[in-house]
Chain A
Amino acid sequence: MKTVYMDHNATTPVHPEVGKAVAPYLAEMFGNPSSIHWAGRGVRKAIEDARQEIAAFFGCQPLEIVFTSSGTESDNLAIKGVAYRKGNEGKHIVTSAVEHPAIINTCKFLESKGFRVTYAPVNRQGIVEPDSVRRALTKDTVLVSIMHANNETGCVMPIAEIGRIAREAGVLMHTDAVQATGKIPIDWKELPIDLLTFSGHKVNGLKGAGGLIARKGTELEAVIHGGHQERGRRGGTENVVGIVAMGKAFSLLKNGMAEEVRQTRRLRDKFEKALFAGIPDLVLNGHPVERLPNTVNISFRYVEGEALLLNLDMLGIACSSGSACTSGSLEASPILMAMGADPVDAQGALRFSLGRGNTDEEIDYAVEAVRVVVEKLRAMSPLIKREAKAR
């Protein structure tokens, strides 16, 4: 079966160079990086080389990077790490209504421990307005956490401006940049931000490795206690393979990102234009411009996202819809609901996220497949009949 992968916001294919780079660490380079003998030394060097590559990509200091297991763990470390350390100064956190569950559920946990959390709203186009963060700040606020770009809509938030607002108020600022990384330029030196989350598998690295950049001098309580790894900020023997992969992925990105993004944007725009031109009754979810160059989120009126997703899967096209609940079934996306989307439209939303490896031919195939499936489903849709009757 022909397959087209259009779900790069979920995860990305492993870059062949990454595969090559980790091979020695699946074989002779087995040492524990904390060991002082020969077996450990080479492995330790690999980790520090990776740290340096990643620092060069973001423009931060190598020692500002804490390696973790995932974007989720990095988010936990940023939020709980600040909350535990600064809880005596204040117990209020400001975040947004459209954050990733790693942020939302960590905040909900802290609410159960006596913290107060404000979930700043987004406008109809899915953007957090800086003023809504400004209004949410109180004397008690210790942290602002606003994502750099939204995973479902691709909306890019004005985090520099929000960071300046936080800084003026003397409040630490965290951003979850997992989705933005590798898709839009990030310059740590220019950003008025104290903590930034990134992940390896979203940039053609491996699953199981992520990191948190913590500006020098930012005090964090550890969330995972154990050995002295990561200078006491994250215990546990390092995921050497994942970290080496991440180092390689970021070094490839540093040189290749501009060209890759140009290509991805071109394909995304082509895909989006062709869908809107060829299929009636579509709604673009998210901001038309302030958006990641690889993401398009569309509601297909009169069709359930679930039926569309499964039909496309059977045609080999991988994309995603809303959010999955514990059972793995789909529910209306809370992110689209927070944007004030019509609940029926939210049910019919699909996210296509492109990336490295997509081709013109794949886009043509996908456009045609979506068109055919939407037409077929609309022909049997009870929604469209109801609507026609009402007219």
Chain B
Amino acid sequence: MKKRILAAMSGGVDSSVAALLMQREGYEVIGISMDLYDFSVVTKGRSGTCCSLDDLYDARRVCDQLGIPYYVLNLREEFRKEVIDPFVQEYSSGRTPNPCILCNEHLKFRALLRKADELGAEGVGTGHYAVIRRGETGRCRLFASPDASKDQSYFLFSLDAQRLERIRFPVGGMPKTEVRRIAGEAGLPVFEKKESQDVCFVTDDSYTQFLSRKGLKEQEGHFVDKKGAVLGAHRGILRYTVGQRKGLGIAAKEPLYVVAIDAEKNEVILGTEDETLAAGAIARNATFVAGAPPAAEFRATAKVRYRHAGVTATVRCEGGKIQVRFDAPQKSVTPGQALVLYDGDEVLGGGWIECASV
């Protein structure tokens, strides 16, 4: 009998081609989309995020063409608990959260693997750009995509070897152009579709509205400098993120940046470009793909946000915490974002940035 696998479908070209490739490989593929949120609240006709209604339509049409069943699974409760609530909590604590990583960790590669069990499938395949390889010891290892401009390994750092066993990234090692070519040749209706961009449940300009619906009040407070001197009034800490320069509305001799956010005092700390530089970072809830760090202290390349080029650093691990000392100071080390550690292309693991260290 054919082995069965779930294809997590967003309606985009990557996950569509992933489903196609798994089918060509001989799998019995079942198309799945996740119903995570009442998108009619935020997306009024908008497409181009993970799972809006228009995208579900596209996913369904791709499955029709592949001749595979397609189901939409209701995971709203998990999404609220594991992604939305922490998202709100992080903002209220003055951090800048990364909900996409939480969604990967808890929805795509936890809830969907549970669904795979329920449906008698061996695992889940997605359209992520990252590469899973089996190491010499037989354990799975995670690598960045060779197409650096598409690489999504940053969002996947929290997966461990055990789960990677059951995960497939069929397009993960290809350049995007190749993925589009396959989609075009197969006549998939989504081959020209543009990329998904925003966080799926909020648009760039509606963060504050979303958060206020969730009960976070915008409270005006003070911009202060590092010594605590008041520089002006801010419109509520939710509107700011570390490293931000635009939209502060403060006149000063040299450009000012957000250096830190103090949620307890409701203060936004500003400083010069130099003052945004951090010598290192401390991250919590550390996880490693191999299950444990390679050593108590080791050298690695650290990324402190998705588009960060990465910086070589010395890493120390202790009791679920990671302390990183960068070889060169880094700008905008933002609490709430992930710190991801690489050895060359290989993802070692990471954690959640608690604070920058000087």
Q: Footprint of B on A, CB under 8 Å?
A: 304, 306-307, 310-311, 313-314, 325-331, 377, 380
Chain B residues near A310: list those with CB within 8 A: 71, 118-119
B35 and A380 contact, CB distance less than 8 A: no
Say yes or no: is B73 at the interface (Cβ < 8 Å to chain A): yes
Q: Which 9 A-B pairs have the closest CB atoms?
A: A329-B35, A329-B74, A329-B72, A307-B118, A327-B35, A328-B72, A327-B72, A330-B74, A327-B56
A327 and B53 contact, CB distance less than 8 A: yes
Q: Footprint of A on B, CB under 8 Å?
A: 33, 35, 40, 53, 56, 60, 69, 71-74, 76, 115, 117-120
Q: Which of B74, B115, B118 interacts with A331 by CB under 8 Å?
A: B74
Chain A residues near B118: list those with CB within 8 A: 304, 307, 310-311, 377, 380
A-B contact count (CB 8 A): 39
Shortest beta-carbon distance from A290 to chain B in Å:
31
B119 and A326 contact, CB distance less than 8 A: no
The verdict on A380 contacting B117 (CB below 8 Å), with A327-B53, A329-B35 known, is: yes
7 additional contacts (CB under 8 A) given A328-B56, A377-B118 = A306-B73, A307-B118, A311-B120, A314-B69, A326-B53, A328-B72, A329-B72
Q: Given the complex of chains A and B, what is the CA–CA distance between A377 and B69 in angstroms?
A: 20
Q: Given the complex of chains A and B, what is the CA–CA distance between A310 and B71 in angstroms?
A: 8
Q: Given the complex of chains A and B, what is the CA–CA distance between A310 and B117 in angstroms?
A: 12
Residue among B60, B72, B74, B115 with the highest chain A CB neighbour number at 10 A: B74
Enumerate 26 A-B pairs (CB-CB under 8 Å) in ascending A order. Answer: A304-B118, A306-B73, A306-B74, A307-B115, A307-B118, A307-B119, A310-B119, A311-B118, A311-B119, A311-B120, A314-B69, A314-B119, A325-B35, A325-B74, A327-B35, A327-B53, A327-B56, A327-B72, A328-B35, A328-B56, A328-B60, A328-B72, A329-B35, A329-B73, A330-B74, A380-B118
Q: Given the complex of chains A and B, what is the CA–CA distance between A328 and B119 in angstroms?
A: 18
B35 and A313 contact, CB distance less than 8 A: no
Q: Which of A307, A313, A326, A329 interacts with B69 by CB under 8 Å?
A: A313
Q: Given the complex of chains A and B, what is the CA–CA distance between A7 and B317 in angstroms?
A: 57
The verdict on A326 contacting B40 (CB below 8 Å), with A306-B74, A331-B74 known, is: yes
Chain A residues near B76: list those with CB within 8 A: 331
Chain A residues near B71: list those with CB within 8 A: 310
Chain A residues near B119: list those with CB within 8 A: 307, 310-311, 314
Q: Given the complex of chains A and B, what is the CA–CA distance between A306 and B118 in angstroms?
A: 10
Residue among A310, A311, A313, A330 with the highest chain B CB neighbour number at 10 A: A310
Q: Given the complex of chains A and B, what is the CA–CA distance between A326 and B57 in angstroms?
A: 11
When C-beta atoms are compared, the residue in chain A nearest to B74 turns out to be A329
When C-beta atoms are compared, the residue in chain A nearest to B28 turns out to be A314
Chain A residues near B73: list those with CB within 8 A: 306, 329
Shortest beta-carbon distance from A77 to chain B in Å:
27
Chain A residues near B117: list those with CB within 8 A: 380
Chain B residues near A327: list those with CB within 8 A: 33, 35, 53, 56, 72
Q: Given the complex of chains A and B, what is the CA–CA distance between A314 and B120 in angstroms?
A: 10
Chain A residues near B53: list those with CB within 8 A: 326-327
Q: Given the complex of chains A and B, what is the CA–CA distance between A304 and B60 in angstroms?
A: 23
When C-beta atoms are compared, the residue in chain A nearest to B71 turns out to be A310
When C-beta atoms are compared, the residue in chain A nearest to B4 turns out to be A314
Shortest beta-carbon distance from A3 to chain B in Å:
13
Shortest beta-carbon distance from A383 to chain B in Å:
12
Q: Given the complex of chains A and B, what is the CA–CA distance between A377 and B72 in angstroms?
A: 19
Q: Given the complex of chains A and B, what is the CA–CA distance between A314 and B115 in angstroms?
A: 14
Q: Given the complex of chains A and B, what is the CA–CA distance between A313 and B118 in angstroms?
A: 13
When C-beta atoms are compared, the residue in chain B nearest to A332 turns out to be B74
Chain B residues near A313: list those with CB within 8 A: 69
Q: Given the complex of chains A and B, what is the CA–CA distance between A329 and B56 in angstroms?
A: 11
Shortest beta-carbon distance from A350 to chain B in Å:
15
Q: Given the complex of chains A and B, what is the CA–CA distance between A310 and B120 in angstroms?
A: 11
Q: Given the complex of chains A and B, what is the CA–CA distance between A326 and B74 in angstroms?
A: 11
Chain B residues near A326: list those with CB within 8 A: 40, 53
Chain B residues near A307: list those with CB within 8 A: 115, 118-119
Shortest beta-carbon distance from A301 to chain B in Å:
16
Q: Given the complex of chains A and B, what is the CA–CA distance between A304 and B117 in angstroms?
A: 13
Shortest beta-carbon distance from A360 to chain B in Å:
28
Chain B residues near A377: list those with CB within 8 A: 118
Shortest beta-carbon distance from A329 to chain B in Å:
4
Shortest beta-carbon distance from A33 to chain B in Å:
36
Chain B residues near A330: list those with CB within 8 A: 74
When C-beta atoms are compared, the residue in chain B nearest to A330 turns out to be B74
Q: Given the complex of chains A and B, what is the CA–CA distance between A220 and B338 in angstroms?
A: 64
Chain B residues near A331: list those with CB within 8 A: 74, 76
Shortest beta-carbon distance from A311 to chain B in Å:
7
Shortest beta-carbon distance from A309 to chain B in Å:
9
Shortest beta-carbon distance from B63 to chain A in Å:
12
